[in-house]
Amino acid sequence: MVVIANLFLFGCAVDPMTKLGLSESEWLGYGSDEQQKLLANYKKIAEKRAGTVRDKKNHDARGFLEIDVLDGKVMMPPFVDWSDYKPVNFTIFRGQCRDIVLQGLIDEKSQTELGVCFYGDTLYLDPSHHDLEKHSGSISIHSSPLWLSGFSYKGISSTGYVRLNNVTIKILQKENAK
């Protein structure tokens, strides 16, 4: 009976680890109560994120950012080792959140999603899926006049889901006439 219970728990732990951005050893390092708390936090954060603007219909079209994420490394499932990824370019509108796919450089099947939100004059990157204090992002970059001509932030590292490591974030701010 104990073996069946352990197999059941191990089978269920695979999905939570991926959702939380934890390796198997990190997950197993938590006690049962801590694991349940992490899962409860994940649920709260997922509910908050579900309520954010994720499409282009309801955003503030007057301001948007063109963003490049390049260089450095990220964690991809199973969250055991740093991975190189293909540079990515995307647009995000003020008031919008997006999940940006980061694809492995060598193994194209390997991928993860970088959460990004642009609220007010702040860009939030790499939210945690289990730390309530980092639900918007483990990095916040406040607006700068330099964004209007394009500015690169080098050596960015984070503690969220994908754990950016020594990444370059290039931001170019655009304004549309209403």
> pLDDT, tens digit, for every residue of 19-46?
899 999 999 999 999 999 999 989 988 8
Predicted confidence band of residue 47 (pLDDT cuts 50, 70, 90): confident
pLDDT of residue 16: 84
Listed in sequence order, the residues at least 6 apart from 104 whose beta carbon sits closer than 8 Å to its beta carbon are 76, 83, 84, 85, 86, 110, 111
- The pTM score is 0.82
Q: List the beta strands (DSSP E) in 76-148.
A: 82-83, 88-94, 96-103, 111-119, 122-125, 139-142
Give CA angle at 102 (67, 145), nearest 5°. Answer: 15
> What are the phi and psi torsion angles at 84 (to 5°)?
-75, 155
Task: Check pLDDT > 60 for residue 18.
Answer: yes
